[in-house]
Structure 1
Amino acid sequence: MGDPYYITTAINYPNGPPHIGHAYEAIATDVIARFMRTQGRDVRFQTGTDEHGLKMAQAARAKGIEPRAFADEMSSLFRAMDERLNISYDRFIRTSEEAHHRASQAIWQAMADKGDLYLGRYEGWYSVRDEAYYDESELIAGEGDEKLSPQGTPVEWTVEESWFFKLSAYQQKLLDHYEAHPDFIRPESRRNEVVRFVEGGLSDLSVSRTSFDWGVKVPGSADHVMYVWLDALTNYITGLGYPDRTELWDRFWPADVHMIGKDVVRFHAVYWPAFLMSADVPLPRQVYGHGFLLSRGEKMSKSVGNVVDPMTLAEHFGVDQLRYFLMREVTFGQDGSYSAEAIVNRVNAELANSFGNLAQRTLSMIFKNLDGVIPAAGEADEDRQLLSRVDDAVAELTARFHDFAFSAGLEAWMGAVFACNAYVDTTAPWALKKTDPARMAEVLGTLVVAIRKLTSAVVPIIPESAGKLLETIDRGVANRLEQPVPVFPRLEMPAEEEGAAA
């Protein structure tokens, strides 16, 4: 069993169906989990839904159903998205689970035992949409006299009795941790934002509500429910059995990385480590705040009407094709943009025309001209040079993937694919068939070795397609190749997008 590796997505808030942003994070985290498995790590991968809070209660009321029924319905949509997108999670957690309520109450009690919780009265600005409190100095002007959160969401003045967490007491401890562990927050731009925020001073944090009851009950204060973020963040340890010292806990905590969107970095890089310090629980090794996925350069919103269902994209373009595009097109950590024509163009140029065509041509020639028997690789200089080029590209991809630089890793991989296609053009195995059949066999054998290495390297990105191709090759090596089937058919623009693309 390899070294343990624990990775999580941010826990999804299911007050609406999943959108492409949820899919992007799930796919990226899945790529890392699958990649780490190929590196021999013993991976634990957790995702799930964060089902409490005022926003969920309001959304349920608007539909005329109980919050639990609404949570059941919406959580099932996120699970269905994960299944459709081939997300290889080990645990799908729901914060409405009894085990999670127990874990949340246990961390609360640990913080209380430390003397870090006190009862007070909250008066201040609260965004229901963000489930977040904001200081007056953080607000921005809306239309007229309207005030908005830094995220541009509406805020309302809230007054209620509340338990408070002594976040202010952890300002220096947090800054010390950031300095001692420079990779705790990545990428660097997010780290700088968090350090500036904490250096600006931390106020104590309201961590309970009395204005609604859909949440985890506060121990000893039955009329209070926990602030949804304290409850939500605890999911990362609930899934390992906290507060019990389980085998999972001993093996996988602290987490290696929490993969999250940049809009929730503060909760994960300020509040969460402070809660854990208070509860005497070791801190995760890294919080990685990836960028937003924009639709034609614009942030998605229901009012603009550009929110995209990831299931629709998977249906139109294929799951592996969508996964490849998102990891190839966007520099991970930065914002990225997508459109139907960008997906079609990228997938056709690289997967269909370059890599897919390379594999199909090579295997078809072996099936047709060598009775399906895969020959050995050649020993000529050009053969060795090609395989060396492929090995270098795979090594580069591996190094880049360790750093979550997926697009750069795939750039190196595509360079080797192009080198293989150039080798085909130079050696011209179709001509060798007539002039030097033995050399043709060496060329085709060399290409199979190259294709197999390249295919193995991208299993984390395109697991289904790469798996089929590896199975075809390996079955051919053990026996004989059957008639090969193209793995990456060319994509066409969806009919409703053609007008928009023109």
Structure 2
Amino acid sequence: MFYITTAIDYTNGAPHIGHAYEKVLADVIARYQRLKGEEVYFLTGVDQHGQKVQQIAEKEGINPATFAKKTTKLFLNLWKKLGVAYDGWAETTDDRHKACVRAILSDLKERGELYKKGYKGFYSIRQEQFLTDRDRNEAGEFGPEWGEVMEIEEENWYFRLSAHAEWLKNYVSSNPDFVVPGFRRNELVGALANSGELDLCISRPKERLRWGIEFPFDPDFVTYVWFDALINYISFAGYRAQEGSDLPSFEKLWPCAAHVIGKDILVPAHGIYWPCMLHAMGFSDEQMPKILVHGWWNRKNAAGGSEKMSKSLGNVVDPDELADKFGVDALRYYLVRDIVTGKDADFDLERLVMLYNQELANELGNLCNRALAMTGRFCNGIVTTTGETSDDDLDMRASLATVIEDYRAAMDAFDIAEGLKAINRHVTFCNAYADRNKPWELAKDPTNKARLEAVLANLVESLAHCAVLLSPVLPDPAERIAAQLRIDDLLKLKLDDLKWGLVANGHETGKAKPVFPKIVIEEAE
């Protein structure tokens, strides 16, 4: 079982392009694993508790639950529009999740992993966490990344994070695939080397925050939002589920094959808190999940440099508007084509249009039209595969075989951009093959019939393979190509089924229709 999750989205605001990228990336990975023949469970959802949600709701004069529900709907609608096909949906206000969190808190208390103490110090409202001197900048101040910082004195519950620090250092050191890609793992290694052995405050007093999961053994406190939110990866996977629950089998899903998260929440939440929490709960080294860390979509500033998108800078990109303006296919393609998984990239509307028009509308669209339109025009739509094979034909088969292996290697490494480049290489080869063999010229001489049929059969065959390879990224266009090919079960094939000869001799294809309508530049300005 390939169990994949994304970080659940905090419902203190509308979804942005970073949210969309993460979900599309995970959706593509899940679809690719199914293409490999894996059984897949894809979980995503929303984090609805916390101080920021409570504060915004209070400003709007509504209940936090009402605000969270309203914001959650924005995420649900966007994922439906973008074709994000998840299997499980997590909401941290779900009673099943709350029961799991309370059971874990009680268990950790019994294990001696929790204790209560007073604290006086500084607290970041934006990040909803307590700060120490190591969080100060070179000037000795708490920088703008922390937002409003207040000094407070209160009693809280703490998790003995420090008791697991040495184990975590050893685990990360001996398990290089715990965090991928490797350079993101190096960031965690560096953070562990420089970190102190501090414990984690996991509660907030109700007099300051009521919008959270109440402690089962101390009802004056609610659970810290990060401690609550991280548990969704196991609570909605069936961990400690009550008998008769409709949640999946935890033993079947766990360990998680990949938590897909942004680089900003690797340290400390997913790289430190989460594995230590699991370790304290009794999870073995073999039961630790893998963390796939992606970078950010940034924007170019007036000086030509890159800067993070933020509402305060007014440079946030709305994926909902982009999907309406350029189409879901163009947006999905761009999000995973123009960024290397793990690294940052600058969001560029001109490149979105260029990549879609060049690689899809022009190249793949051209192959689709050539293969189907000329087969219909010159061969009455009938594919004939019994002719002689030329050296050029053999080169085409070799190109496809190489591309499939390149595609597999890239996708297995979560490098979707490189996987798409591999498909593009074969599409380019096919169009050059058509230019060299000129079926429109061959059709003028009846004595060239056998060669004409062979050339067109090779183009149709390649198109069928490309549709299958493209399906994890662009499922709807792949379906449209399969429909025009009239191969009903084409997209039921698995990656290992992709051998030359998918299109049978005598198969009748359908009519060519535009699969990738070109984006007109004027409309993008």
Query: What TM-score range do you get, normalising by the shorter chain?
Result: over 0.9
**Secondary structure, aligned partner of 2:10:** coil
- Counterparts of residues 402-481 of structure 1 (less than 5 Å): 402-435=412-445, 436-475=448-487, 480-481=508-509
In the alignment, the residues of structure 2 paired with residue 83 and residue 400 of structure 1 have an alpha-carbon distance, to the nearest angstrom, of: 27
SS at match of 1:55: helix
Per the alignment, residue 495 of structure 2 pairs with none
State the partner residue of 1:231: 228
Write the deviation string for residues 466-486 of structure 1: whole angstroms up to 9, x where unpaired.
121022213496963332111
Instruction: Kindly indicate whether residue 142 of structure 2 is the aligned counterpart of residue 147 of structure 1.
Output: yes
What are the superposed Cα offsets for residues 78-109 of structure 1, whole Å, 9 maximum, x if unpaired?
11111111011001110000001001111112
Matched, 1:50 2:31: no
Contact 1:396 1:412 in 2 (8 A): yes
Residue number in structure 1 paired with 2:357: 348
The C-alpha deviation readout for 1:353-407, integer Å capped at 9, x for no partner, is 1111111121111122221223327522211210220121011111110001111
Residue of structure 1 equivalent to 2:113: 116
What's the counterpart of residue 288 of structure 1? Answer: 292
Counterpart of 1:58, as a letter, is Q
Residues 276 and 363 (structure 1), Cα distance of their counterparts in 2 relative to 1, 3 Å cut? same
Q: Retained in 2: the 8 A contact 1:377–1:447?
A: no
CA separation of 1:158 and 1:376: change in aligned 2, threshold 3 A: farther
Shift in Å at residue 138 of structure 1? 1.9
Task: State the partner residue of 1:316.
Answer: 325
Q: Is the 8 A contact 1:44 1:90 kept in 2?
A: yes
Give the distance between the partners of 2:137 and 2:83, measured in 1 at CA.
40
Distance in 1 between the 2:248 and 2:64 partners?
34
Q: Residue 372 of structure 1 corresponds to which residue in structure 2?
A: 381
Kept after mapping to 2: 8 A contact 1:120/1:163: yes
| Amino acid of the structure 2 residue aligned with 1:248 | S
- Contact 1:293/1:338 (8 A) holds in 2: yes
- Within 5 Å, give how 1:334-345 maps onto structure 2: 334-345=343-354
TM-score by length of 1: 0.94
Measure the CA separation in 2 of the matches of 1:175 and 1:137.
19
Aligned to 2:270: 268
Structure 2 unaligned regions, length at least 5: 301-305, 489-502
CA distance in 2, matches of 1:392, 1:96: 49
Match of 1:126 in 2: 123
The TM-score, its normalising length taken from structure 2, stands at: 0.90
One-letter amino acid of the counterpart of residue 413, structure 1: I
Runs of 4+ in 1 over 6 A off after TM superposition: 476-479
Deviations 1:210-265 (A, max 9, x none): 11110000111101001100100000011122213876201001111100000000
Contact 1:390 1:416 in 2 (8 A): yes
The Cα of 1:132 is off from its aligned counterpart by 3.0
- Is 2:84 the counterpart of 1:83? no
Equivalence for 1:484 = 512
Which of 23, 26, 31 is the aligned partner of 1:29? 26
Contact 2:382 2:507 in 1 (8 A): yes
Relative distance call for 1:465 and 1:176 in structure 2 (3 A) is same
Structure 1 Cα separation of the partners of residues 386 and 2 of structure 2: 37
Structure 1 runs not aligned, ≥5 long: none
Query: In structure 1, what is the equivalent of residue 175 of structure 2?
Result: 181
Q: In structure 1, the residue corresponding to 2:509 is in which secondary structure? A: coil
SS at match of 1:56: helix
The range that moved more, 371-380 or 360-369, is 371-380
Q: Distance in 2 between matches of 1:295 and 1:345?
A: 17
Distance in 2 (alpha carbons) for counterparts of 1:18 and 1:305: 15
Q: Are residue 208 (structure 1) and residue 199 (structure 2) matched?
A: no
Distance 2:80 2:335 in 1: 18
1:111 and 1:278 in contact (8 A); partners too? yes
Secondary structure at the aligned position of 1:7 is classed as strand
Contact conserved, 2:16 with 2:319, CA < 8 A, in 1? yes
Q: By how many angstroms is 1:197 displaced?
A: 1.8
Say if 1:340 and 1:493, in contact at 8 Å, map to a contact too.
no
* Offset from partner CA, 1:274-330 (integer Å, 9 cap, x none): 111111134433112110011333311112211121111111111122111121111
2:253 is matched with which residue?
252
Aligned-partner Cα distance in 2 for 1:159–1:376: 80
Q: Which amino acid aligns with 2:280?
A: S
Aligned counterparts of 1:157 and 1:377: Cα–Cα separation in 2: 81
Shift of 1:195: 1.7
* Partner Cα separation in structure 2 for residue 446 and residue 79 of structure 1: 42
Residues 372 and 510 in structure 2, CA contact (< 8 A), matched pair in contact too: no
Q: Which amino acid aligns with 1:93?
A: A
Count of aligned positions? 491
SS of the aligned residue for 1:404 comes to coil
266-275 vs 294-303, greater mean Cα deviation: 294-303
Corresponding residue for residue 170 of structure 1 = 164
1:401 paired with 2:405, answer no
Percent of aligned pairs with the same amino acid = 37
**C-alpha distance in structure 2 between counterparts of 1:326 and 1:319, whole Å:** 11
Q: Distance in 2 between matches of 1:388 and 1:29?
A: 31
Are the aligned partners of 2:135 and 2:142 in contact in 1 as well (CA < 8 Å)? no
Give the aligned partner of residue 195 of structure 1: 189
Distance 2:146 2:277 in 1: 27
Aligned equivalents of 1:430, 1:132: Cα separation in 2: 68
Moved more, 474-483 or 336-345: 474-483
What is the alpha-carbon root mean square deviation over aligned residues? 1.9
- Whole-angstrom CA distance in 1 between matches of 2:384 and 2:517: 26
More displaced 10-residue stretch of structure 1: 383-392 or 190-199? 190-199
